[in-house]
Structures are given as C-alpha cells and as structure tokens.
Structure 1
C-alpha cells in the first residue's frame, strides 16, 4: 500500500488525467482532478484503444463498458479521389497477437466510461491554473478563482499547451537548466477538421451494417488533404479531414492554437466539401452537413517529445510531455500507459519524501521516454504515407498498401503490442495473446528493499 501521506493533484480532466484518476481510485491514493473547463466538453472525432491498454481497462472494471460503446477495428481501406480502391492494410491480426482487438469509439462515449466510477467530488471544474509552487515537502497549485491545492505531487495532464509544463519550464529556465529543444515551440504539423454525424440510414449505406469497423481513407491525387471515415455504433460516422503542413513551414507561429474546442472553421469545411466519400451518393460536404455543429471542431495539431518530464514534485503525463499527431491513433494509449507506469510506482512508495518522489519520476521517465519517441516517429511516418503528394509519394503508397508482406505487418504490430503492462496492485488478467507481453517491470522499491 502507498504511504498514507501521499497525495496527488492532477491538472487536466482529459483522457490521460481521468485514466490516472481511475487507477489512483483503485489504489486508494488520495487525489483531486482540476479541470479548467466548466464542464466536460469531449469534442473531436473518435479515439482508439488496443491490446496495450485494454488489460488495464479490464483490471479497472471498464472493459465491458468500452466493448458496449465501441466497434472492433478490422482494416484500413484506401481509395483515390474517384473512390477506387488503392489498397488495404489488415489489422485483424492484432486480436490474435495481443489478445484484444483494436477498438474505436467516439470521445463522448470514452469520457462517459472514464467518469462512471469516479466520485464527482474529486473532479473540480472551472479550475484554471495560474501558478505552481513547490518546496522539498509539497507542491501547491494556485487557481484563477483564488483557490489553492497542496499535495505531495502535481501531475500535469493538461494537454499539448500545458500550463503545468509552462510553469515548470519557466522555473528551469530561470535556473539555466532548460534544454534548447524544450525551449523551442511546438511545430504546427496538421490542420484537422473533425466531427461525428447524426445517425445515417443503414439501409442505404451498407458500411454501417458491419459489426467490425473499417477505416475508410480517401487520398486525392492533387488536393492537399485526406479524409478518414470510421463507422460507430448507432449508425453514426466519425470523420476527420487532415491537411499536413509542410515541414519547412511547420514551426511558423500563425496564431495561438486552441485545444479541442467548439469553434469550427467553416472556411476549411467549404474548402474540402467537394471531395467524394465512400458513402453512397454523399460528398464529404454532405457528411459535414449531417454533423451537429457543436460536434465539429477545427484545430491545429502538433508533435513533439519533450526532453524534460519532471522537476522536483511536478511531473508531466500524456500530450503534455509527448504530443503525437493522430495519424496512427496512438495518443490515448500512450497517455494511459504513462498512468499505469506512474501509478505502479506511486503505490509502492514507502514515503512521500523528496528523495523518493525524485526516484519515482526518474524511473517513470527512463521507462516511458523511448517508447513515446518511437510512437512519435511511427505516427509521423504513417501520416507521411497518407499525406505526401507527387510521383514518388504515390509509389511509396503503392508499395506500402500492396506489397508489404503479412509477416512484416504482424512483426510490426507484435513489436508495439509487446508493451502491455498491468497494474500490479490489482489481480492480473490472463494474457491471451499469441505474442506474450513483456514481463512486468521490476518493482522499484521492492527491488531496493531486497538488495539492501
């Protein structure tokens, strides 16, 4: 059991923050979640989970709810602008490899599942963080409404434009300890328009009758964007239109980027609405018109793996320390896995001294940083395959979609899905994958106790 004095303040009520809250709730570690919004606004398109995180969701008693609100992913179908097939990437092997299928569900459903078992009084809304102070005994979060919260540690799970990271980096910069890379701004890599439609007519659109979800991906030859369609439970369609920014201009500071927010850009919608879709008789514009305006978001997405994840009693999690573009659907899984590793360390902490906290954060960074870096590269490469234009790009896509052998696809998925950690303080769920998961990481403080 954890030290009875250990307490956690989680800044950010997104996927990573709420997933960690569920873990801390089961671990009997005292925590609070501070969310800047006045209520949960799960905008955006959809999110995916796979065998890397589903064992943990099973431990937390959330798997059945995720199964009920999602569809298993079978494959990616690629089309040109005439909706002619250009290739298929089969992901059905992931079920056999990891013991669980990849699944897709919309963001509101995802949030509903994560919030279901959390006590309402532990999630505080309208808490816009202004500053974080710390000493060798505690960390204190001050909010714009005059409230303040003191705890053993502060976890910044507040997204790509993290206030916690900003506060931490200001402190490090003042001491001359901020790396040149961390001082650089995020690169603006993608414009993204996303939404979830109202129920469509399944008698007209055969795609909606499938029990499994295929990603339908349309890559035009000349238009500088591509679109992705995912069928959801309830005859709805999650869609995304992505325009990759050239690397040469990706660091140009255009305007303050927003997180997933309610302001949809009709300018971008008008720019893309002429594109055909895989749905019979519907253009992309028709799909957009079938989407409630409050469920449409236009954002700019970034990518970066920061060098510094912690300082003293403050630590970062999820997009706050490793922001990946959504091309490969890795963001939610990465944030949840961060939480698994951090919670496993916290539950074993013999006390909440500065020395112990720094050991926890150092181990967390050591184990998670390289995995996050690899995920960023994978997402970038997958996005490049879909977004690049020109003769060479078309040849690369043709090889990728039609000539990659099945054994290589299986090997690639097996390499990523070998990381399937579980919460060691809860009963472990059986490993049904044909490729067994890597052994659980040695328990840091148990190992130290044995060695001494």
Structure 2
C-alpha cells in the first residue's frame, strides 16, 4: 500500500507498548488506546529471564535498563524457617545462553518503553467496548462512542480482554490457580542477598524476594486461600497464612505498605485455537495468559510484538503476515503456558503427585529443573540465534 500501515493497539501494558515500539520501527502509524486515565505499571517487579532480556535488546531498551537491573548470580530455596534447601547458579544459565536475566521494577520497564514512543501516540481514558471490521478496515469503538479506524487492530488488553471475544466468540476459558500478594519494599530491610532470587517454600505456600535496584525489593506471597479476603486487610491475611515463618518473612509482612500491596487471583488461559480473526490479532495475556511460575508473561508479550512486526515487515499482504504470526506463536506460547501451569501445580501442591516429584527434585543436588526449563524456553524462542555482540534494536 502507498501509505503506511495503520495499526490500533488496545492496551498500554508491556505487550501494547512493546508492539507500538516494534511496529513504529517498521514504519507503521500506531495509536495506542488505554482505558486507564493515566499510565501506571501493572504489578511491581518482574524478572526478564534470558529470552525476555533478548527482547529488551531487540526493542532497543536494554542499555538504559542495564544501568538499574542488578546482576543475579543464584536462586536460593529456603524453608519456612529460613534454612537453605537448595541453591542454583544463574551464572551457568547465563553462560549457556549468552544472556543474563534482568530483574526489574515494572515502572522502569514501562518508562524505558515509553521513552521510545511519542507520547501523542498513547490515548488515555478510553475503554474499547467493541470491534467492527469489514473488507476496508477495522474500527475500535470506545465507551464514549468514538471510533478509531485502522488497517489492523492488536488486542493487548490483558487477561480479561474485550478484543479476545472478537477472535474466539467468547469460547475461551480462564483457570484460577492461586492468589498472590505483591509489591515493593526497601531493599535495606536485608531480606535477601542483592545477587540472589530467594524463595521461601513450605506447605503449598511460597514467598519470593528479588532485588530490582534503586533500594527496591520486589516481593510476592503465594497461597491458595480458603474463603474471601480478610476484611481486616492484607497484613492480617498474610499474618494468618504465614504465621510462624522465619524472621525474613515476618519482617516483610510488618514492613509492607498495605495500600501499595496488590492482592490478585492468578489465572491462566486455556490455549486458543487462533490468535487472529481477519484484521484482529491478539498478543500477550489477551492471547496466552500464563501463571508467573516460569517468569514468562512479559517475555512472551515482547516476543509476540517482535514476531508480529517481523512478519508484517516481510509481507505486503497483511493476511499472510498475520497467518504466519499465528502459526509461529501458537505452538510456542502453548508449550510455555502448559509448562508453567504444570510447575504451578507442583510448586504450590495443587497436584499431589507432581508436588512430591518437585519436592524430591528440590533436595536432589543433581537437579537443575528450573534453570533447565529456562534454557529450553530460551533456545526454542524467536531470538535465540540473535548474535550476542548485537546492537540495540536491530532484531526486526
């Protein structure tokens, strides 16, 4: 076509902003529609394992993030009393794949993505309520009656996606697995070494502690609660679930800011048959929401964005490009979602048989199951062959 490809992106999370960056790089005219009145990073922290870190480079945002992202050397599992169960070297993972992981505050990741975009491209305070398409184009209909016309529409509107209904017809299914409480506290509380991703695990519960730089410690508590949230608040609920745990965990419970600690049910999405319907394409959680147990939600969304941009750049026919994207991403994301689901069932004791196997692996000095899964995920990804001596932003 003589004019640039026009793309509307619904959602300004990691996937939506990554798609905007990647599509702008191939010359597309992009509009991002976000229902929130202001941009706030969803969640608190994230660990971009090597495949995700490669995507940061491909999007041209790794260099500034390198300055704030601490270097991880190990993963440490401890029991509820703080005793070491198992330590694993992340240096070996880095050596095998040629890329270190990036632990980050989500606000830093969001800021890096926004730095690559003209703010005028992001339209805030407009919720997409429906999508209409025909042979001439696609239109996003907003809650104020505004219609935004474009050639393609990208659904990046998260796990409860409105756009997804226009691809699946509402046949998709979410599965609940557990509840997480997460946020940030001062790293100065000294709850974990600065180079260690620490997990406290016991009785089908888990606490994660990760240094994300600038005196910020990302934390999460995971459990499968019975009943509704405690009306007395987050601290009361966590005191109940983690009563008698070690001083690191109890100190965290007392130090956290209840107003800034999110309580979220963790779901994933049963694999879809397709991410595409005509001029509509899904990315990120809208397409393949996954549990965070393998740390792949943000990474997969960024991979989606880069793969979509690549296929659109390589084809003059959007239909062929979207079909190629669909074919490439369906199997990749299905494997990761189901692997993460299985690991969630094992590590939180949701499935007794797999939980017993995982607990045995955890105490087996020869087992590197978590890091081995990350190596496999990286090597099967779209950026695995990208040269290590790359320049920022050249993957597409």
Give TM class, smaller chain. 0.7 to 0.9
**76-85 vs 132-141, greater mean Cα deviation:** 76-85
SS in structure 1 opposite 2:188?
coil
Counterpart-to-counterpart distance in 1, 2:35 and 2:200: 36
Structure 1 residue 272: deviation in Å? Answer: 2.8
How many angstroms apart in 2 are the aligned matches of 1:13 and 1:76?
31
How far 1:418 sits from its partner (Å)?
A: 1.6
- Select which of 288, 311, 315 maps to 2:253: 288
Query: Are the structure 2 counterparts of residues 382 and 91 from structure 1 closer, same or farther at C-alpha, using a change threshold of 3 Å?
Result: farther
Query: What is the rounded CA distance, in whole Å, between the counterparts of 2:138 and 2:244 in structure 1?
Result: 52
Structure 1 residues 244 and 372: CA distance shift in structure 2, 3 A:
farther
Structure 1 window deviating more from structure 2 (229-238 vs 310-319): it is: 229-238
Q: Provide the residue aligned with 1:297 in structure 2.
A: 262
Q: Is the 8 A contact 1:190 1:325 kept in 2?
A: no
8 A Cα contact 1:227 1:239, kept in partner: yes
Q: Do 1:197 and 1:291's aligned partners in 2 also have CA atoms closer than 8 Å? A: yes
Does residue 207 of structure 1 match 2:192?
Answer: yes
- Counterpart check, 1:44 vs 2:43: yes
Aligned residue number for residue 447 of structure 1 = none
CA contact (8 A) 2:11 2:34 kept: yes
Partner of 1:396: 357
Q: Which of 217, 225, 229 matches 2:205?
A: 225
For residue 271 of structure 1, what is the aligned residue in structure 2?
240
The counterpart of 1:385, out of the listed 346, 358, 375, is 346
Look up the SS of the partner of 2:132 in the other structure: strand
SS at match of 2:56: helix
Contact 2:344/2:350, CA 8 A, preserved across alignment? no
What residue number does 1:106 align with? 105
Is 1:238 the counterpart of 2:195? The answer is no
1:337-356 aligned at under 5 Å gives the runs 337-350=303-316, 356=317
Which of 168, 182, 189 is the aligned partner of 1:194?
182
Correspondence for 2:198: 216
Structure 1 CA distance, aligned partners of 2:149 and 2:351?
Answer: 55
Deviates more, 1:324-333 or 1:410-419: 410-419
Q: 1:320 aligned to 2:283?
A: no
In 2, the alpha carbon distance for the partners of 1:114 and 1:137 equals 31
Structure 1, unmatched stretches of 5+, are: 171-181, 247-253, 256-263, 351-355, 434-439, 444-452
CA-to-aligned-CA distance 1:342-385 (integer Å, 9 cap, x gap): 000112332xxxxx222222111111111111111221232233
For the aligned residue pairs, the C-alpha RMSD in angstroms reads 3.0
Q: 1:139 to 1:147 in 2, by over 3 A?
A: same
Q: Secondary structure at the match of 1:53?
A: helix
Q: Deviations over 1:153-206 (max 9, x none)?
A: 000001010011124434xxxxxxxxxxx62531111211111113424xxx27
Aligned to 2:33: 34
**Cα deviation, residue 228, structure 1:** 1.1
**TM-score, length of structure 1 as denominator length:** 0.77
1:374 equivalent to 2:374? Answer no
User: Does the 8 A contact of 2:70 with 2:212 survive in 1?
Assistant: yes
CA contact (8 A) 2:274 2:330 kept: no
CA distance in 2, matches of 1:34, 1:132: 13
Q: Deviations over 1:322-356 (max 9, x none)?
A: 01100110111111111111000112332xxxxx2
Could you tell me how far 1:56 is from its partner in structure 2?
A: 3.9
Aligned to 1:359: 320
Matched-pair contact (CA < 8 Å) for 1:324–1:330? yes
How many Å separate the matches in 1 of 2:49 and 2:357? 27
Which of these two proteins has the greater Rg computed from alpha carbons? 1
- Is 151-160 or 137-146 further displaced after alignment? 137-146
Deviations 1:7-26 (A, max 9, x none): 10000000011111111222
Q: 1:299 to 1:136 in 2, by over 3 A?
A: same
Question: How much has 1:131 moved relative to structure 2?
Answer: 1.3
SS of equivalent to 1:315 = strand
Does 373-382 or 10-19 show the bigger shift?
373-382
Q: Distance in 2 between matches of 1:414 and 1:387?
A: 22
Three-state SS of the structure 2 residue aligned to 1:195 is strand
1:62 and 2:28 correspond: no
CA displacement at 1:145 relative to structure 2: 2.0
2:5 maps to 6
